Structure 1
């Protein structure tokens, strides 16, 4: 099911979508003077038609998490997944011999709705694993300067199924071929940048998560429009305002997850994230603000995931404004199980679910 694309530039937003933001310099406007922060949001509703696009039997991608999306210049939609099950399923959903898990994969959706899987031969992760004990999980991505820029989280294996985040990298992917041309190092500090990206008329806003304690904290950086790949242009919001030093970035709010989205909403902005104030919470929350940098108002719970029960849990909710119908925001979240044997026996558990939030 194809959606109308919404452009996040200031003057060219689709007003009917309820996503129009004010046209002042988004970094300098009054950070507490807008009607968006008074919005009383509705309860989101399941979108079975969007769930169905990933009810695949293979061969190829049949399950995975993260579920970021990017509209490509040729009107294809690119879906970016982290851990993914690659193989084929029979009519009962049972995996055929040869089912394997890779640490990241791309799924391309053409204008007819047909999906195709991109991995390296093997199959192996699309973004190559740097070593036997390290790998990349995807974060948000953006088309800029004729290429696709993908934020990656370099992650280390701990024990049989454990993991630990190490640092960010930034992948460059050619268009339209979708081939990795470079993976940049050089990120420092405790913040995983690229949890979400927002494009406005003046800047690209880069949201990061500090996940070194029990509570996860939101941070924000910004780059002038068109210069996301040049980290020398980035500014970080600190206690005393914007500065060039990443280690001066300050905590903005807590209880967000490692994946999130920020999109224009009325005369302000809307942030969507799974609730992490409690472990494995079923809640999906929304925050509002007058500026892309906040301050983010007290969150409203917009949905509770029915799949969260027993061994099953949900996580990493975020919006897809570029794929959303007028007046709504399409939101995805991931489903998983603590029982790895169950996952490998029934990959249909491991698929994104979608909901729609009314923004009228």
Structure 2
């Protein structure tokens, strides 16, 4: 019998021929030949490989998929963990999948063993009972989640700009968690990669409102175990407007933002920096937090001295010294027992590199809430960091043996081409004090001006206006005057002098009465020393604010974003008089309209558009000088 059985020649067909007892045909035989003698080898053992998990995988949970690929002759596949049999697998379209119960459920419960390294193998068996075992696949069982904590920000930190969120943690397997997902107030803001300094995500704080927020981080280890840290509460210090300020109303919104640690201050004296930022200086400052109605929360406090805001585009960021919860003056006075009240300044581009020069009154507090100005200092700040480089005594003397009222000359500072001009006042000396000191030779009450070249502004010498010329002798100085000869025409603190077209504009309070209303007056001169001409009341005395307020200062500003000579703004300050003191029956009752303790907005700057102010060209034509 000669039958062509060539279909059994390849691969598994040999095994099938042996199984049926048939002989394989000789492909070289011809019809009629006798079949040759053949040697039939034993069938090849089945094979399998572990497809899942992959090598070096970290696995966890109660349903870890175990998947094997086996040769087609395999009739059963089993999985082993080391030498321990886990059970059998069932054939599916996805391969041989481990099932502990015959297909009702799938996957291996990794929680049945301790965390640590293991080796997974599969074993295939064919119908002849032959077996084949796969190469081992190394895995790590990890059912323990990592620890997680927030490293930055620290609790109650005040953050601004782009700040770094930093999360840390540890894992029982001995590796650091490799990813961290951050949330602010429960909303996802992104993931940070992990390294030697923790899991870090830069975060733009301008995306959040000024005030208190909470950050959490969810750390996930290589097995997918995740832990969410305890929340850390912190403050976003900056107030960011929707857009760059377009006018006084936007600046008022920024100055009224009292939820970033800065609760209020007065002043708002500004210097425009070379990079476009604006540095705003303030005086004695309340620090702490306020509720949604601007009521200061327990723990707020007042410190004497300096705070600041840095305006960068649409964002305003407060600057103070000390640390959150224990704020102090931004720039300590070099004179023990005193504080600085900042005046004005400018960027000194003659210095290399350029620096900020700003002048300040040296103030000593006295009993009963009083104070005295005991000196004037010049402060140098580095750019762009705004760190203090130096503090030094300003050149003119602030006291002389026989002159009890030497002008302080740092109420206003005007950088004007080749010269820097310094303005300050000398108050009247009471008659009873003069009678007790017949040797005194007081200077006339009024507003004075000194000048120095740019090179001499910091260390001197200065010159002083005598009414007709400039002198190097301070006691030769005379107060500036109006065109009709009137002197002492500006009262109270906060006067300011600035360029206005080709001339100069002075703003301030015309009388002590204006302390009780928001009125701000303006005077014009063709030269920095006058004579001055009354222009207008550019902030009306009425309507005033409800309650019991004092109003002081008044500076015309035209060189910050949203302002110009054609559309300037005026900033003055408000504060409150005492109220509700048990030993002062005449005090008004304390209300939200007159008590800082009930409304933090009762202390701070007010920004407003001036009225009745002629243009520079109109004033130049009217007062050509």
Same fold (TM over 0.5): yes
For the residues of structure 2 that align with 1:247 and 1:277, how far apart are their CA atoms?
26
For the residues of structure 2 that align with 1:139 and 1:91, how far apart are their CA atoms?
32
**Alpha-carbon distance, 1:114 to partner:** 3.4
Alignment partner of 2:299 out of 91, 98, 107: 98
**What SS is found at the alignment partner of 1:51?**
helix
Matches for 1:11-160 after TM superposition, within 5 Å = 47-102=248-303, 103-121=305-323, 122-129=326-333, 133-144=337-348, 145=351, 146-160=354-368
Contact 2:283-2:342 within 8 A present in 1 as well:
yes
**Alpha-carbon distance, 1:131 to partner:** 6.7
For the residues of structure 2 that align with 1:298 and 1:312, how far apart are their CA atoms?
26
Unmatched runs of 5 consecutive residues or more in structure 1:
5-45
Contact 2:345-2:414 within 8 A present in 1 as well:
no
Of stretches 312-321 and 95-104 in structure 1, the one that deviates more from structure 2 is: 95-104
> Could you tell me which residue of structure 2 aligns to residue 280 of structure 1?
515
Of stretches 329-338 and 242-251 in structure 1, the one that deviates more from structure 2 is: 242-251
**What SS is found at the alignment partner of 1:66?**
strand
Q: Deviations over 1:224-257 (max 9, x none)?
A: 235421322x211114410112222211132323
For the residues of structure 1 that align with 2:463 and 2:294, how far apart are their CA atoms?
48
**CA, structure 1 residues 267+135, in 2 after alignment: closer, same or farther (shift >3 Å)?**
closer
> Could you tell me which residue of structure 1 aligns to residue 603 of structure 2?
350
> Could you tell me which residue of structure 1 aligns to residue 553 of structure 2?
316
> Could you tell me which residue of structure 2 aligns to residue 34 of structure 1?
none
Alignment partner of 2:451 out of 222, 225, 247: 222
**Alpha-carbon distance, 1:279 to partner:** 6.2
**Alpha-carbon distance, 1:213 to partner:** 4.6
**What SS is found at the alignment partner of 1:348?**
helix
For the residues of structure 1 that align with 2:336 and 2:391, how far apart are their CA atoms?
18
**Alpha-carbon distance, 1:294 to partner:** 0.3
> Could you tell me which residue of structure 1 aligns to residue 488 of structure 2?
254
Of stretches 68-77 and 307-316 in structure 1, the one that deviates more from structure 2 is: 307-316
Alignment partner of 1:338 out of 577, 580, 598: 577
> Could you tell me which residue of structure 1 aligns to residue 464 of structure 2?
236
**What SS is found at the alignment partner of 1:292?**
coil
> Could you tell me which residue of structure 2 aligns to residue 29 of structure 1?
none
**RMSD over equivalenced CA pairs, Å:** 2.6
**CA, structure 1 residues 213+343, in 2 after alignment: closer, same or farther (shift >3 Å)?**
farther
Contact 2:509-2:520 within 8 A present in 1 as well:
yes
**Alpha-carbon distance, 1:47 to partner:** 3.5
- How many residue pairs get aligned? The number is 318
For the residues of structure 2 that align with 1:3 and 1:224, how far apart are their CA atoms?
35
Does the alignment pair 1:184 with 2:392? yes
**Alpha-carbon distance, 1:300 to partner:** 2.6
**Alpha-carbon distance, 1:266 to partner:** 3.8
**CA, structure 1 residues 81+164, in 2 after alignment: closer, same or farther (shift >3 Å)?**
same
**Alpha-carbon distance, 1:133 to partner:** 4.4
> Could you tell me which residue of structure 1 aligns to residue 536 of structure 2?
300
Structure with greater Cα Rg: 2
For the residues of structure 2 that align with 1:87 and 1:149, how far apart are their CA atoms?
29
TM-score by length of 2: 0.48
